[in-house]
Amino acid sequence: ALGLVYLPLGNSSVDYYGSNRSAAENEYATSLVAIDVTTGRPAWHFRTVHNDVWDYDLGSQATLVDFPAEGGTVPALVLPSKQGDMYVLDRRTGESLFPVEERPVPQGGVEPDYISPVQPFSTYHTLAKAPLTEADMWGMSPIDQLWCRIQFRQSAYDGMYTPPTTDRHWIQYPGYNGGSDWGGIAIDPTRGIIVANYNDMPNHNRLIPRAEADAAGLTPIYVEDGNANGPLGEAGPQVGAPYAIQVNAGWRVGATGLLCKEPPYGGIRAI
């Protein structure tokens, strides 16, 4: 009815480094963009991460809904994010129907001049859990638990948006799986209920200096006989950046392959 298409955009490649990005990439990456179907031009856009170096792309579509408001309803959309935050936007203008707070986030890492000092947080609802603590580290045996607690202590972690580091691993929580699951959310407009499927798994990452990545033979998967893993485990070469990335998706104990974080690893929530 409004003549708009709503496009959830990814973060700009490469995932975990951003100092070589253009101004347009920084403006539109990890954003919901409304395109005017008559012109093909952006009508508005709403950015959910500033200078995203955490692979927090918008993994799913927004859900359109006539949102209850004083005197009737507002044509709106509910946008879930990998961080767990849900945004309710007026789909005509992109304006949030609830306050969005720009809160200070951890600084440092390998790009201190690129990392944004603040990030947007929705005051409507979030699926995000409390920050991890050593007590959240878990294992099927005391040895597993001890190993995970040692890894936690040795890692950089200052909460959500901990900057990527190369001298040691850093903990990303929520991990790149979410937060909100990639399948999106469902809304029951009759009962006024949002049903959300969320993931609850941290990642254990490290930026790999280019020389180390080259020595390990790390190459893109699209190259013939490409090697995106090898001796570095699950890794990506991040071609064009000074660092490759080593990602322990879910942060698993080597002996058992189970996660270091205490279960459960996801859930269903009605809001």
CA distances from 103 to 50, 87, 117 (A): 12, 16, 8
- Report CA-CA distances (Å) from 14 to 18, 25, 62, 75, 263: 7, 11, 24, 35, 31
Residues forming a β-bridge with 199: 266
Positions of E strands within the chain: 4-8, 31-36, 42-47, 63-69, 72-80, 85-90, 100-104, 118-122, 125-126, 170-172, 180-188, 193-199, 203-209, 235-236, 243-248, 266-270
Annotated catalytic, 55?
A: yes
Residue from 10, 7, 4, 89 nearest 49 by CA: 10
H/E element holding 143?
Answer: helix 142-154
CB 79 within 8 A of CB 86: yes
Q: How far apart are CA 136 and CA 130, in angstroms?
A: 11
Distance between CA atoms of 127 and 267, rounded to whole angstroms?
10
Could you say which of 15, 52, 55, 200 is catalytic? 55
* Beta bridge partners of residue 261, listed in sequence order: 137
- Strand (E) or helix (H) holding 259: none
How far apart, in Å, are the Cα atoms of 118 and each of 42, 48, 106, 153?
Answer: 25, 12, 9, 25
Catalytic residues: 55
